[in-house]
A and B are shown apart, each in its own frame.
Chain A
Amino acid sequence: FAAAGFRAAPAVADAAATEVAIKEFTGGIIPAEAGKLTLKTPEIAENGNTVPVSVSVESAMSGDDMVESIAILAEGNPNPGVVVFSFTPMSGAAAATTRMRLAKTQNVIAIAKMADGTFYMDKKEVKVTIGGCGG
């Protein structure tokens, strides 16, 4: 997926490039910022090189109430793509945590793709003291 999406973005991502990346993930929809998806980030990240990020969706993880994948995007990085987590019924829970780089203060966006074809989105602003795409 990473190869197919997010790569075509310009040298510096912006809201427009992020919108394109969201639509690539959802197949053309901008999901409403409400619903079962929770994105957790620090309000202030002193070091943009390693910013903790967690996503979770309340889900039975079976049948139609199943989270297929969650994409994380960063609006102000050179490319919006951060990671796409893919789940299976064996995941047991739709939750994952990682650490990301943020070049500057910006919005971080998470989008969950459900097995029934619906999407959820959550957005958080992270204030970055020292940027993490160091040149």
Chain B
Amino acid sequence: MATPRPRVKVPKTAAAGEVITIKTLISHDMESGQRKDSEGNTIPRKIINKFTCDFNGQTVFSCDIDPAISANPYFEFNAKVAESGTFKFTWVDDDGSVYEAEEKIEVK
């Protein structure tokens, strides 16, 4: 599988105190551990098990993920922004890999 590629959508600007919507997607097979290969052997589980969104170092939103989340996990959630800053997005893989993305927002 290719290296998971994160995509995030954050508004470029917001008013102070505005509640914005953030959309994230990461390419990942989310192998559930339930499937079998052509020889009948179970394909081992390998999923993204944790997603976190921080803003200026403080956690905004996070999820603990089970194999029942679809391939290429998509999350849409909100954030209340009081000041300009940087959103940091982190996905943690079962194999310990960590995938990251960042987006800046300007508060006017």
Question: Which residues of A are interface residues toward B (Cβ below 8 A)?
Answer: 1-2, 6, 49-51, 61, 74, 77-79, 81-93, 95-102, 132-135
Provide the residues of chain A in CB contact with B73, threshold 8 Å.
98-99
- Chosen A-B contacts, 14 in total, with CB atoms closer than 8 Å, are A2-B49, A2-B66, A79-B67, A82-B69, A84-B64, A90-B58, A90-B79, A92-B78, A93-B19, A93-B80, A97-B77, A98-B73, A100-B69, A101-B67
Provide the residues of chain B in CB contact with A79, threshold 8 Å.
66-68
**With A86-B63, A90-B80 already in contact, 6 other A-B pairs whose C-beta atoms are closer than 8 Å:** A50-B71, A61-B80, A85-B77, A91-B80, A92-B79, A96-B77
Q: How far is the CA of A74 from the CA of B36 in the complex (A)?
A: 22
| Neighbour of A101 across the interface among B19, B59, B70, B75, CB < 8 A | B70
Looking at chain B's contact residues, the main secondary structure is: strand
Q: B32 at the A/B interface (Cβ < 8 Å)?
A: yes
Contact assessment for A83 and B65 in the assembled complex, using a CB-CB cutoff below 8 Å: yes
> Chain A CB within 10 Å — which of B19, B58, B69, B73 has the most?
B69
Q: How far is the CA of A2 from the CA of B92 in the complex (A)?
A: 13
Shortest A78–chain B CB gap in Å is: 5
Provide the residues of chain A in CB contact with B60, threshold 8 Å.
88, 90-91
Shortest A61–chain B CB gap in Å is: 8
Q: How far is the CA of A89 from the CA of B87 in the complex (A)?
A: 15
Residue of A nearest to B30 (CB): A101
Q: How far is the CA of A89 from the CA of B19 in the complex (A)?
A: 11
Contact assessment for A101 and B32 in the assembled complex, using a CB-CB cutoff below 8 Å: yes
Provide the residues of chain B in CB contact with A134, threshold 8 Å.
35
Q: B3 at the A/B interface (Cβ < 8 Å)?
A: no
Q: How far is the CA of A27 from the CA of B34 in the complex (A)?
A: 28
Q: How far is the CA of A92 from the CA of B49 in the complex (A)?
A: 24
Contact assessment for A99 and B69 in the assembled complex, using a CB-CB cutoff below 8 Å: yes
